[in-house]
Amino acid sequence: MHGGEPLLAEAGLDPHALKKLLLKDAGQIDQIGQLAAADRFSARVPQWYYRVVLSLLTSMDLSEAEAENHFFAILQHRQDLSVRMGRDIGIRVACLDYFLHVENRMINPKLVEADLFEQLLGKTKLDPKLQCYNYPFFLELAQTELHKTRRHGGSFSILMLDLDDFKQLNDTCGHVCADEVLRYCVDAMREQLRVEDIIGRYGGDEFICLLPHTAAEGVGCVLKRIRTALLDCPVVLPGAEACLVHFSGGVAEYPGDGDDLDTLVRTADTRLYQAKEAGKNMVYSGKGDIGL
């Protein structure tokens, strides 16, 4: 059995689960690379795997087909570099050299910094109930994204979401059912967000997301998909009727709405409460209701 097979089995062929496992043990990238090289056309290595890995290493948003082709080219490039240098070349070095000198049509690939990568390996900090990032660790990741965007240009958006009438649900159905609704909402968000998007629990029934390379208009498209997913599959609670989940939200965009995380989070939170006061079940940006 190749070294990467247990990891794929543990991830259950789920890209988000695989990303979380790779953050814990980056060495598995090489092990699954060996498996992939031996069985490129085998279903044992799903095509989305290559997109997950390159997104994690470079922050580039590639199609699955593009990512697969680049992945195997990087493996070959790493082997060639190792022979020329007389020592083993790490996957990050090979990846950077490949995109800068072989695929030079791609300008300024944003490679994940080694120190951040090591931090991620050592301390993935998840909310124990919902398995999304807790707020302090979300801020660490968001701060790194802010530094990258300042250096390389571009934009990102901070999104705050709060479930409507959640206290009533909690009081009526109890904490166990309420937690089940929260888990359901996190799963729905994960399914509609990209691998590189970051989800955190801000507190209670309030969530915070960072969407790299995304302006407020793009956030609206994502929110429509999340809303559709929630409405298409109501939550069925034990001993209760099916529950339709609605949310209100606020969006702040870097750099237009602020140049630091404090300002961006406060702005998104203020707009969330503007949406609540305006009648709930809507999301506000700097231009008002974005019209889901």
Same domain, 96 and 130: no
73, 89, 118 - which closes a domain: 118
Same domain, 157 and 107: no
Return the CATH number at 272: 3.30.70.270
Same domain, 174 and 278: yes
Same domain, 129 and 114: no
Same domain, 210 and 102: no
Kind of pairing, strands 206-212 and 247-254?
A: unpaired
Phi, psi for residue 185 in degrees, rounded to 5: -65, -40
Q: How many domains does the chain have?
A: 2
The percent of residues above 70 in pLDDT, for the chain, comes to 74
State pLDDT tens for residues 188-201: 999 899 888 999 99
DSSP conformation letters of 46-94: -THHHHHHHHHHH-----HHHHHHHHHHHHHHHHHHHHHHTSPPPHHHH
Is there a contact between 207 and 283 (Cβ–Cβ < 8 Å)?
no
Same domain, 285 and 255: yes
79, 96, 118 - which closes a domain: 118
CA 266 to chain centre: 21
**Which pTM value belongs to this model?**
0.60
89, 118, 147 - which closes a domain: 118
HSE (side-chain half, CA atoms, 13 Å) at 27: 3
Same domain, 106 and 151: no
State pLDDT tens for residues 6-37: 545 554 445 565 555 555 555 555 555 555 55
Among the residue ranges 35-39, 137-141, 233-237, the one predicted with the least confidence is 35-39
Same domain, 200 and 259: yes
Same domain, 154 and 57: no
pLDDT at 268: 97
Amino acid symbol at 97: D
Q: Say which residue, 252 or 5, is predicted with more confidence.
A: 252
Per the structure, the complete domain to which residue 42 belongs is given by 5-118
Same domain, 256 and 133: yes
pLDDT at 284: 96
